[in-house]
Amino acid sequence: MFPFSIQLETSFAHLITNMQYLPGVTLDVASRVYVASDKSLNRKFEKHTKQIFKSSCQKIDTSEPSDTASMINNWVSKGTWHERFTKTYTDDFHSASGTRRIPMMSREGTYNYYQCDTLNAQIVEIPYEGGQSSMIVVLPYNKNGLPVLLRALKLAPELLNQALEKMKKADLILCMPKFKIETDFDLGYLYKKVGVRSIFDPKKSKLTGIIDDETVHVSKAIHKAVIEVNEKGTEAAASSGKNIQDNINTLNF
């Protein structure tokens, strides 16, 4: 039978449940196991797939590769800003490939903030609705400083946690780009790099209990991710829970 770990079952089910009920964040998991129509799924495996991984199983005709390829797992996560960005405009954005004009967004408000001279960067925390999750943005002081920042974090990742512990409330004019990033890569390379090799070998794979009376192997593992950040969020009154004062010193981010 398929070697399910009790600890893995409990941990994964707990993770999915918690993420689905995180205030202000919507996580839709549209995951499915596709099996060739001429194969018979093991009933226990199918039961575990539904109950633990909140997924489902479906038989497909693998004689049409283009149709089969379009059936992929789709994770959709939506986080609503605690306070939405109030202004959108177009401005210059600097990157390693040069400078170009892109859609931007901004708002003035109070955020957790820290100027980290060790990393030569500014750090701001942008909360999502509900207060239990947030986005951390790290902006190098120098417009060409991203490669140096990434090298520093790779050599000493603890520097970021140390900086986050030093964050304090600050009044900011927060400006950042609206963006959408899509990426996909072959997970097989990463699995093999950490020693997971036998599941890719038809002769050595021990993935039993998935298809009745057969041992299967992994031919390919692909991951695709999409993240989109824009100004959408919960609308809130500017004076809600705050004392409005004149001459507030603000920092530009």
pLDDT at residue 150 in the model: 93
**pTM of the shown model:** 0.62
The structural domains of the chain, ordered by start, are: 6-79+181-229 (3.30.497.10), 87-177 (2.30.39.10)
Q: Quick check: 160 and 137 in contact, CB under 8 A? A: no
pLDDT at residue 236 in the model: 26
pLDDT at residue 233 in the model: 38
pLDDT at residue 118 in the model: 93
**Residues 189, 190, 195, 198, CA torsion sign:** negative
What is the pLDDT confidence band of residue 20, given thresholds at 50, 70 and 90? low
Q: What tokens were used for 239?
A: 């004076």
- Sorted by sequence, the CB contacts under 8 Å of residue 85 that are 6+ apart come out as 105, 106, 107, 174, 231, 233
- 133 by DSSP, 3-state: which? coil
CA 169/CA 124 separation, integer angstroms = 10
Element (H, E) at 182: strand 179-186
CA 173/CA 74 separation, integer angstroms = 35
- Sorted by sequence, the CB contacts under 8 Å of residue 148 that are 6+ apart come out as 120, 140, 142
- 208 by DSSP, 3-state: which? coil
Element (H, E) at 195: none
Half-sphere exposure of 92 (CA within 13 A, CB side): 5
- Sorted by sequence, the CB contacts under 8 Å of residue 246 that are 6+ apart come out as none
Q: Which comes out higher in pLDDT, residue 144 or 238?
A: 144
pLDDT at residue 30 in the model: 55
Q: Which of 4-18, 30-44, 181-195, 215-229 is the least confident region? A: 4-18
Summarize pLDDT for 82-109 with one digit per residue, the tens: 888 888 999 988 877 788 899 999 999 9
Is 252's pLDDT higher than 60?
Answer: no
In Å, what is the CA distance from 219 to each residue of 12, 194, 201?
Answer: 24, 17, 8
Is 4's pLDDT higher than 70?
Answer: no
Average pLDDT over residues 22-43: 68
- 11 by DSSP, 3-state: which? helix
Question: Which residues share a beta bridge with 33?
Answer: 57
Summarize pLDDT for 38-47 with one digit per residue, the tens: 778 888 888 8
- State the alpha helices, DSSP H only, in 156-221: 158-164, 187-193
Task: Give the DSSP letter string of 58-121.
Answer: EEE-TT-HHHHHT---EEEEEE-BSS---EEEEEEEEETTEEEEEEEEEEEEEEEEEEETTTTE
Q: What tokens were used for 54?
A: 């909140």
Half-sphere exposure of 212 (CA within 13 A, CB side): 8
